[in-house]
Every structure is written in structure tokens, then in C-alpha cells.
Structure 1
Amino acid sequence: MAPQHHVPRDGDRRLSGHRERHGATTPRAPAPTADTVGRLVRSLTAGDGPAGAGPEVRPVTEGGEQCAWWVGGRHVLRLTRDQGAATRARRELRVRDLVRPLVGVAVPQSVAHGDWAVGLAYTLDTRLPGRSGATQAVSAVGEADLAALLTGLREVPVRQAESLGVPRAEPRSLEELRAAAERAAGQLAAEDEFDPANLAQLTADAAVQLAARTAAAVLVHHDLRGEHLVVSADGRVRGVVDWADAVLGDPAEDIAGLALSVGAPAAVRAATLAGYGARPCLRGLWLSRCDAVIRLADRLAGRDDSPLPPLRGQLRRAWESILLERVTELPGDD
């Protein structure tokens, strides 16, 4: 099985909805040319390849916060194009080292890193064997892998993560998100894309009950899309990539990310295996459902140019039925 390391495209980034925006308005450097990348790769892999020419280098994507290039069959080179992205890329190296022994799945290893231009970071990473979770289904055993991931993230010492520069993120208001989703659902109904009656399950009182608890902040990957899950042919989750947006915050955000990526039932089962109770599971479920409705409405209204099929797939997966659908009385402590 050919190894894969999944690098997000511009459109993919808009699917997450959780990106830190540090540096988003700062000027971006031009994309590095093939010659620039070739010289950098040869300096990092001297002697590799035929006649010392270095390994084959092929572009993965250009634009956005990073450019990415395949380097031979075992590595991927990522280069940032603005100061904010460079800061996150440098922090990501520290975060990966912190979580690697805890999360139970593989995390890319940087074999070389530095600056490819003044203030702009690069990292040459190992490629993890497997396929993208966007194209490879996760099995029941893979759900246990996801549970180990969520368990490991909760075990990361908060103070240690803060010492590495991981920022805190305030929990989102589910009440505000619900109101936005109701408006978006009306737009989708006009396009025959969604039945607004589905949102009736999330009442105003339920949204209040599912408010996040700030004391429960843990390390959150914050972008658990399918493209960032590395899945083997038998459905095992073998790795997780792209830790640049990790924050200390609401664990329901990662449950929501999994609901959008692998489906609501699998996400809730994984979270339950990880020890999360009804409140964070339901909160994550409704975060994902509201997000999916809002993002698809934005796309159809021309406010976003993300590709439609992934957005429709997210909507379908987030609204898959689970046993724990309605908010009733929730226990006081999870």
C-alpha cells in the first residue's frame, strides 16, 4: 500500500471552520518555485537519488498558508508563506512531540526543519502509510483507535501545552450557532437540500443545557477532518496529521470534527469509549450538525467556493441517526 501524507488544499481549509486566523491578513510571500524547492531538498537529502541528484520532488498543492511537495516516497516538504503560518508550523513540531507518546496513533516526525526564506518556516516530515480518511472508511476497530486518540489528548498536561505556546480557545456558543443554523436551514430548504424540521430537536433550552464547561478544557486537535486521518485498508486509524491548529479548549470540537469526518454514530461511540459522557457527546454532535448546515448554505449562497461534494458529505454524516438524539436531563458531572 502506497504511503500517504495528507496536506490540505485551500478549499479544504474552509471546511474545518476552526482555523486560527493569526497572520491571516499579513502579506504572503510568493509561492516558492520548483528551483527553490529543488535546491532546498538537495541540501536536506544530499546523496539521495541517482548520481546525487536528490529524490524526486513533486508539488502537492500551492497557495493558502502552506505549499507542499512530495519528496521521494517517504517524505513531504511543507513551506509556509506568511508569519502567522510560520508560527503555527514551528509550534506544531513541539505539539507533535508532546502528543506522540500519548495518543496511540502515529504522528509525523520532522526529519529537518528551519526557514526557507526570512521568517518563513519549512519542515520535512515523514509520510505515514495509509489512505486518507476522506476516502477510506473507518472500521469498528478504527473507532477504538479514535477513542485512544481522544483519551490521549485529554491526558496531555495543560500547563505543559501552555508552556509550548498552545493558545486557549473560548468555547463556541451553541445558542448563537443554533440561531445561525436555523437561518441557514431556511436557505437550504429553498434549494431542496435540507429539511429545517430536523433542527427542532435542538431546542433553545437544550442549547443552554449543552453549554461548554470552561473548566473541562483539554488539548484539542481542532481540525479532525477526514483528510487528516490516515487509515489502513482494514479501517484502522494509523495516524493523524496537521496539528498546526491545536488549542486548549472544548473537547466537543474534536467530537464534532469526527462526526463530520466518520459519521455521528462512530464519533459518539469513539467519544464514549474515551470516557466522555452525554453532555460533551451531544454538544459535539450538535456543533457538527449546525456547522454542516451553515457551511453548505454559505457555499450555495456564493459566500464560499469550497467544493460541494465534501460539504454535502459532511451534512450527511453529521445527521446520521444515533440512539442519543434528544437532550433530556444531563448528569451534573462528566
Structure 2
Amino acid sequence: MTQAPTPTADTVRRLVRSLLKDGADDTAGPEVRPVAPGDEAVTWWVGARHVLRLAPDRDGTVRQRREMRLRDLVRPHLPVAVPTSVAHGEWAPGLAYTLDTKLPGGSAEVHDVSAVGEADLAGLLTGLREVSVRQAEAIGVPRTGPRSLEALRRAAERAAARLAEADEFDPARLHQLTPPAAVQLAAQPGTAVLVHHGLTGEHLVVSADGRVRGVLGWTDAVVGDPAEDIAGLARAVGSPAAVRAATLAGYGARPCLRGLWLARCDTVIHLAEALDRPGRTPLPELRRRLELAWEAILLERVTELREDDDPDEGP
């Protein structure tokens, strides 16, 4: 297999000059700098108005091309912006690139989401549910089955014991999710929708006044369990805001609580893993996500859900 070339500033600068030679930017070429400096710098700021994303391999190329089609599909359904590709092609043989417009604003890691911003998130969840699953699958979006919350609960219990040793977490907090409750909160049949599956703080574009102005990072989108996006929001903006947004979007108690516990179990597991094997996400950010996901909400009383509850009824 041919080794993929490593993107450099010179590679990016030459490519950008050929794309923006119409005078849209400085004729000497805009400033280029990696978004996250490292050995595999594949996302670059281009001046003040564009972002260049380079697929690092063939799988990344397939995902990026699918993402561009998906953004066009979801755009009419969403009240928030998604990036627009102003140019795309190959930056190396078989490796794709897209030059996207930069959405104005910061991230949810920088700006808090306001009450009006929660309504924006509700519109996002509503819009995703309105996208045709058939059309999404036709452009290559994969379908995935729901995760077992009971299996996740057991894994989180093991991880919590590791965190307790490091004085990072009280395992007793997980006792709120009993085995019967985990079974009760299993995903319901026939509820699959288009799921962004990457609603992290860095993918939510938030203005200084707390409005959610855009959503980035559509490469991991799937057709699947909508509770996964509720979980993503819980990790990104806190469980109360996530549940309020999901409720505004028409989701009932069951998917809201399922998303809550997916997020809580995930954050415990991810932090425990990072203590033993540090990864790309810094420990302070993993601790922050855990804190956000474990914020208390009003729907904690899982035992009051009846087995025959309509999953789409309000709490």
C-alpha cells in the first residue's frame, strides 16, 4: 500500500492559491495554519473565512464525500447552519479535500448555550428526525443498531471502581441506574432517525449571546438511535440543557433518560480509560464532560416510567 503523504503548510498553501486565485483572498495567498497542530495536521484555517479539510486516507475520502452530500440533504431541515463546500477535489492521488466556509462564532467549549440556544438545539434534533432515512441511506449513511445500556452499565461499574481508586468519582452515583431500569430504557423498535453522532462541544458553533449558530463534523452520522445525540448534547452542554432541548423537540421521558445514561456511562468509561492510556482528548476535557453529563435533572425518577409508556409521549 502506498504511504499517504503528510500534509505540510507548503502543500496547503499551493492548493489554496490554486483555489482562491480569483482574488477572493489576498493575491499573495491567505495565511494557513493547522487547526490542531500535530503530526497529522489534516484540518487547516485558511485566512479568516475558510477551513480546508484533507482526508488522510481512502476511508477518510469516502467519509468526506458522503459528508458533503449529507450536508446538502440536511440543510433545508435545520434552523442552524452547516458548512458549505466552496471547492473540493483531490489533494493527493485518491485523497479528497474540501474547502469549506467558516461559520462565525465560537464553540460550546468557549460559550455557554443560553435558553434560546436550547431552542436552537431542539430545532436541530427536530430537523434530524425530519430527514428522510431512505434518502440518507441512499447517499451511503450507514445504519447502526442501538447500544445495550445494560452492557454499558456493567462496563461503567468497572470503570467507576478504577476512578474511585484515583479519587476521581464516587461509584455509588451509578447505583441510580439499576439493572431493571437499564432494561426498561432499551431503545424502542422503529425509532431510528438520522443521528449526527458527534455532537461534541467543538462541533457546536455558539455565538457570544449563547445562540447555537451552526453544527460541524458530520462524518460520523448514522441512521440509528436518537438517544445518542441527546447523550452527545449532555456531554457537550450539560444534561439539563440536553434534556430540555430534547423535550422541546418532542422526545419523551424514555429517550431523554436513555440519552442521559448513555452519556453518564460513556464519560465514566472514557475517563477511566484515559487514566491508564492517555489519548487525544486531554484529561481536563474528559473531566469536564463527566461533570456536565452528571448534572442532575428532573427526570431522574426512572422507576416511575411504566413499561407500556409511549416512547414519544412527553414526561
Structure 1 residue 204, shift from structure 2 partner: 0.4
Partner of residue 7, structure 1:
none
Aligned alpha-carbon RMSD (Å): 1.6
Partner of residue 242, structure 1:
217
Partner of residue 134, structure 2:
159
Partner of residue 202, structure 1:
177
Structure 1 gaps of 5+ residues are 1-25
Separation of aligned partners in 2, 1:33 and 1:27? 18
For residues 171-207 of structure 1, the C-alpha deviation after alignment (integer angstroms, 9 at most, x for no partner) is 1110110000000011111111111111111000011
Matched, 1:332 2:310: yes
Aligned residues, how many?
A: 308
The correspondence for 2:149, drawn from 148, 164, 174, is 174
User: AA paired with 1:332?
Assistant: D
- Contact 1:110/1:126 (<8 A) preserved: yes
Separation of aligned partners in 2, 1:326 and 1:304? 35
User: AA paired with 2:116?
Assistant: V
Matched, 1:276 2:254: no
The correspondence for 2:66, drawn from 63, 86, 91, is 91
The correspondence for 1:80, drawn from 55, 59, 66, is 55
User: AA paired with 1:230?
Assistant: V
Separation of aligned partners in 2, 1:165 and 1:66? 26
Structure 1 residue 28, shift from structure 2 partner: 6.1
Matched, 1:101 2:76: yes
The correspondence for 2:240, drawn from 265, 273, 279, is 265
Partner of residue 85, structure 2:
110
The correspondence for 1:122, drawn from 85, 89, 97, is 97
User: AA paired with 1:67?
Assistant: V
- TM-score for the superposition, normalised by structure 1: 0.89
Structure 1 residue 33, shift from structure 2 partner: 1.9
Segment drifting more, 39-48 vs 234-243: 39-48
Distance 1:269 1:308, change over 3 A: same
- Identity fraction in percent: 70
Distance 1:303 1:61, change over 3 A: closer
Distance 1:163 1:204, change over 3 A: same
- TM-score for the superposition, normalised by structure 2: 0.94
User: AA paired with 1:115?
Assistant: E
Partner of residue 46, structure 1:
21
- Contact 1:31/1:63 (<8 A) preserved: no
- Contact 1:264/1:285 (<8 A) preserved: yes
For residues 124-172 of structure 1, the C-alpha deviation after alignment (integer angstroms, 9 at most, x for no partner) is 0000010111111000000000000000000001101111110001111
User: AA paired with 1:45?
Assistant: L
| Structure-to-structure mapping, 1:215-226, within 5 angstroms | 215-226=190-201
Matched, 1:60 2:28: no
Matched, 1:312 2:287: yes
Query: What SS does structure 2 have at the residue aligned with 1:61?
Result: coil
The correspondence for 1:292, drawn from 267, 283, 288, is 267
The higher-RCO structure (CA 8 Å, 6+ apart) is 1
Matched, 1:184 2:162: no
Distance 1:288 1:113, change over 3 A: same
Query: What SS does structure 2 have at the residue aligned with 1:184?
Result: helix
For residues 260-302 of structure 1, the C-alpha deviation after alignment (integer angstroms, 9 at most, x for no partner) is 0000000000000000001100000000000000011111122
Distance 1:161 1:64, change over 3 A: farther
Query: What SS does structure 1 have at the residue aligned with 2:77?
Result: coil
Structure 2 gaps of 5+ residues are none
